[in-house]
Amino acid sequence: MFDKELLENLEWYIETKPSIKNIKFRDTMQNITKNTFDQVVLNFDHDIELNFPLNNNYSVFKKIIIKGKQTIKSLFKTIYDFYDSELDPGLADQVYEDYDDYLQELLIEKDNEPIYNIDALNASECAPDFVGLRQDTDNPNLFTVDLGPI
């Protein structure tokens, strides 16, 4: 089971911790309820792969494996935790390939602090808003996190 319709009706800025105060229904602009927050949106008997874009043209991704049963709360926490974690140094060159100047500015600004996955999105033109999940047509166990402007 994959509740694509519900997920596409949610508005959430991924830099904010997921909570009922930070997630709204797009069609009404009302905050979601606790019942909705705890609602199951993915329900599979096996683990699934979640594919995270790290730039605006969806050319650099990082995959993780998650449990097949996910509520909005657990799914959004996974997304938040991913973008709040350090960028894999092996992916940095690919992520910032077209943004060398920005990378240099970011490194100076961060003063040797780590670069996070969310920083990669801020380097591009992609607004880090949750838009939905896209199930792969060739691999039904692979879901891509869709990000972009609302």
Tokens representing 81 are 């935790």
pLDDT at residue number 149: 66
Tokens representing 108 are 């100076």
Report the sign of the C-alpha dihedral through residues 35, 41, 47, 52, in that order: negative
pLDDT at residue number 119: 83
pLDDT at residue number 150: 40
pLDDT at residue number 55: 81
Q: Note the pTM of the prediction, 2 decimals.
A: 0.90
Could you list the pLDDT tens digit for every one of the 150 residues in the chain? 999 999 999 999 888 899 999 999 999 999 999 999 999 999 999 999 999 999 877 889 999 999 999 999 999 999 999 999 999 988 888 888 777 677 777 777 777 788 889 888 765 555 578 989 999 999 999 999 998 764
pLDDT at residue number 145: 95
pLDDT at residue number 27: 94
Burial track 103-142 (b if 16+ CB lie within 10 A, e otherwise): beebeeeeeeeebbbbbbbebbebebbbbbbeeeeeeeee
pLDDT at residue number 33: 96
